Amino acid sequence: MRIVTKDEPDPTAAEKLAIEICELQVDLDELRYRLDGRRPSPESVREERARRWERVLALVQAAVDAAAKVPQQPDGAIAIAARRGWDAQRVGAPRRALPPEYRTEARADEADAWITGWERSAKFQHDRGAR
């Protein structure tokens, strides 16, 4: 377990995840040493753990940065768009009747959700009629 002193700043989410991953790897190393019956030198263990820490932290930080770049939709915007597509198909609107507010680049995800909702409603109606 890693102990954080008062002088250290609180770890970021990426650092916390990297710490957890590295601690799990340390546990795995200990099990491997017991199974193999050998113990590497403390210096080589420290060097390997330092290299592993840097590698894991870089990977986790890259994942956190990539997730931060994904534009976030307002809560429920995708679900609302899908429901609107479903309802539009049910009242007979053609698939090409995508609402104008979804025809912008910024709302492409909502446009896709509207079309998906429309298509699912059409499939549901078709499957229901086939019975």
Output the pTM of the full model.
0.43
**Nearest alpha-carbon partner for 32 in 45, 18, 43, 20:** 45
- 6-32 pLDDT, tens digit each: 555 677 777 777 788 888 888 888 888
**Nearest alpha-carbon partner for 107 in 84, 67, 70, 73:** 73
- Contact, 116 vs 82, CB < 8 A? yes
- Contact, 2 vs 23, CB < 8 A? yes
- 26-51 pLDDT, tens digit each: 888 888 888 888 877 888 888 888 88
**Nearest alpha-carbon partner for 13 in 71, 51, 57:** 57
- Contact, 118 vs 85, CB < 8 A? yes
